[in-house]
Each structure stands twice: as C-alpha cells, then as structure tokens.
Amino acid sequence: MKSWVLLCLLVGGYVAYLLLGSLVVSTIESPYERQLRKDLVDRKQQFLSESSCVNETDLEEFLAKVINANKFGVSILNNASNESRWDLASSLFFSSTLVTTVGYGYTTPLSDTGKAFCIFYALVGVPFTMLVLSAAVQRLMATFTHRPIHYFHVHRGYDRKMVTRVHLCVLTMVVLIFFLVIPSAIFNAIETTWTFLDAFYFCFISLCTIGLGDYVPGEQSDQFLRQLYKVSVAFYLFLGLLSMLLFLQTFHKAADLHGLTDMLFLPRLADQEDLEPILETANSSLTETEPKRPFNTDTQPGYESINR
C-alpha cells in the first residue's frame, strides 16, 4: 500500500511539474510571440502599401514557398550559405543526429525516397547506437566509477557512502566543465551570432537528446573548414552522450546505495518459473557427478552412530 501511495505522489508531482513548466513558458514566450507577429504584419502591410504592383495573393504564395523551403534548410537570402546541406560531412552530421535521437529537425529529407530510407536506417541504427553506447559506458563505469570508489573504500578505509557522494560531485563537475562549459566557449567563438548562453543552451539541449533545432552549428555563410567542423560536432555529440550516460549510471548507483531506489520502486520479486530451472539444473548436475553405488545395508548409518 505504501508503494502505491508513493507512486501516486510521484505521478502527481510529475504532472504538477509539467503544468508549472507550461505556465512559466507560456508567460515568458507569449508576449514575444505577439510582438513578433505584430511586427511581421506591419512589415507586410507597409511593403504592400509601398509596392502597389504586388498582388497580396501572389505575395502570400511566395512567402509560403520561402517558409516551406526554409523548413528544409534552404534559404534564398544573400547572406545564407550556398553550400549543399547534403555533402558527405553534412550527411554524416545528419546521420549521427538521426541514430542518436537528437534530431534537430533543421535538415530533413526532401524526397520520399529519403524519408523511407530514414525509417529503415533509424530502425536499425537507433538500437545499434544504444548497444554501442551501453557497451562503452559499461567499461567506462568500471574504470571511472567502480575502481575509484573501491580504491578509496577498501584501501583508504573511507565510508562507502561518503566516497560515492564525493565521486558523484567530482564527476558532475568534470562533465559540466569538459562537455558543457568548454564546448560552449568554443561554439561561442566559432558561431559569431551565438552568445555564450546560446552555445550552452545548444550543448545542453543536444546532450539531453532533446534537439529542438533552433540552433544548429555550421550554417553560416562561407564558414571556415565547414566540413571538418561538421564532423567534429558529430564526434562531440557521441562523446557527450557517453559522458551523460556515464553520469546517469553513476547517479543511479549512488541512489541505490543511499536507498532512494528502494523508496521509489517496488522490490524485485522472485519468479517461481525462474527458480525451477535452477533447481532442476542443480539436481541434474549432482546426479550426473555422483557415481551410482550398490545399496549396502552394512554401510548405512544406524541409530547407534548418533552421538548422545
């Protein structure tokens, strides 16, 4: 009964958290949206009033095509990049965001053939990527989590819970500095239109696999070594995902050690069907290893052999 109460409280807290986020985002973003829409409408009306030869219907159709093309990453602005978004480096970047489920949505397939291929490619690529990440994180856990905790607990004599807390704090700082702060400074230097907050926002959204797509690296016109830059970002995303998974696995182990998992989740139940094969295997192995002996009454223990 207690576990169900905790579950209801957890679900209720989660729903309240979602409602709180919705309220805050709506309060912050709605005024900016209204102002932007007003500016666009005023700009459109000004353009139509100054250009009497332009038909409003034709302008609407033209703007619709421009917006639709921009959705696929194609722009006709003078300062937009004229390089193909489907060269080998950009395609590698797109493939990495597809199979890691980051999915910025800024560059998307234009053809039906490309969309169909993405379905089958992701169908195999997403589980394959999760397998590679899980195998790599398992080995990183042994090196960067279990080994340091075991060393300070066994060889130095420190309390295991205290060592786990300190290790989690150190790992958090390492991930924060090397995979969020330093990459944000690099992106801020390369992407001239990004502030440091924009770059940090991009790194965090990407490594959490949210991938909103409002900031995408390597989309400036005449960017220096753009293809190498795209490949480097794809490599950074893979390493960043490894670091985030390592952090989450370490946090889960710390939660287990401090009893947080037992408080929120049901205890693991023993399955009777799982026990039966183990018992049968044990009996069969004993039967096979023990040699069969003829029954001899002389060698059997009697009541006289019991110590009184």
**Is the per-residue pLDDT at 283 higher than 50?**
no
- 4's tokens: 């169900």
The residues, any chain, with a CB within 8 Å of residue 140's CB and separated by 6 or more, are 242, 246
- 246's tokens: 């390592």
Q: How far apart are CA 12 and CA 16, in angstroms?
A: 6
- Quick one: pLDDT at residue 279? 44
pTM of this structure: 0.69
Phi first, then psi, for residue 78 (nearest 5°) are -65, -35
Q: What is the DSSP letter of 293?
A: -
| R_g of the chain computed on alpha carbons | 31
* CATH-assigned architecture of domain 79-264: Orthogonal Bundle (1.10)
Q: How far apart are CA 103 and CA 230, in angstroms?
A: 15
- Quick one: pLDDT at residue 197? 93
Q: Mean pLDDT, to the nearest integer, of 249-260?
A: 80
Which secondary structure element, helix H or strand E, spans residue 57, and what is its range? helix 56-71
Annotated domain spans of the chain: 79-264
How many other CB atoms are there within 10 angstroms of residue 242's CB atom? 17
Buried/exposed 193-232: b ≥16 CB within 10 Å, e otherwise: ebeeebbbbbbebbbeeebebebbbbbbeebeebbebbbb
**Is the per-residue pLDDT at 24 higher than 90?**
no
Higher pLDDT, 168 or 285: 168
Q: Mean pLDDT, to the nearest integer, of 86-110?
A: 81
- Quick one: pLDDT at residue 109? 79
Count Cβ atoms within 10 A of the Cβ of residue 244 and give its class: 0-12 exposed, 13-18 middle, 19 or more buried: buried
- 24's tokens: 């805050």
From first CA to last CA, the distance across the chain in angstroms is 51
What are the tens digits of pLDDT across the range 212-249?
877 888 777 677 787 888 889 889 999 999 999 999 88
pLDDT band at 84 (very low <50, low <70, confident <90, very high): low
| Torsion angle in degrees (nearest 10) through CA of 70, 226, 132, 207 | -60
What are the tens digits of pLDDT across the range 173-224?
999 999 999 999 999 998 888 899 999 999 999 998 888 877 888 777 677 7
Q: How far apart are CA 255 and CA 252, in angstroms?
A: 5
Q: Which residue type does 269 have?
A: L
Mean pLDDT of the chain: 78
Helix pair 196-207, 182-190: axis angle to 10 deg: 120
**Which of 32-36, 122-126, 181-185 has maximum average pLDDT?**
181-185
**Is the per-residue pLDDT at 252 higher than 90?**
no
Which single residue is written with the structure tokens 């978004």? 85
What is the three-class DSSP state of 105? coil
Residue (of 148, 143, 176) closest to 164 by Cα position: 148
Alpha-carbon separation of residue 168 from 10, 163, 240 (angstroms): 24, 9, 17
Q: How far apart are CA 135 and CA 132, in angstroms?
A: 5
- Quick one: pLDDT at residue 266? 53
Question: Are 241 and 207 contacting, i.e. CB atoms less than 8 angstroms apart?
Answer: yes
Which single residue is written with the structure tokens 């965001």? 97
Q: What percent of the chain has a predicted confidence (pLDDT) above 90?
A: 15
Size of the chain in residues: 308
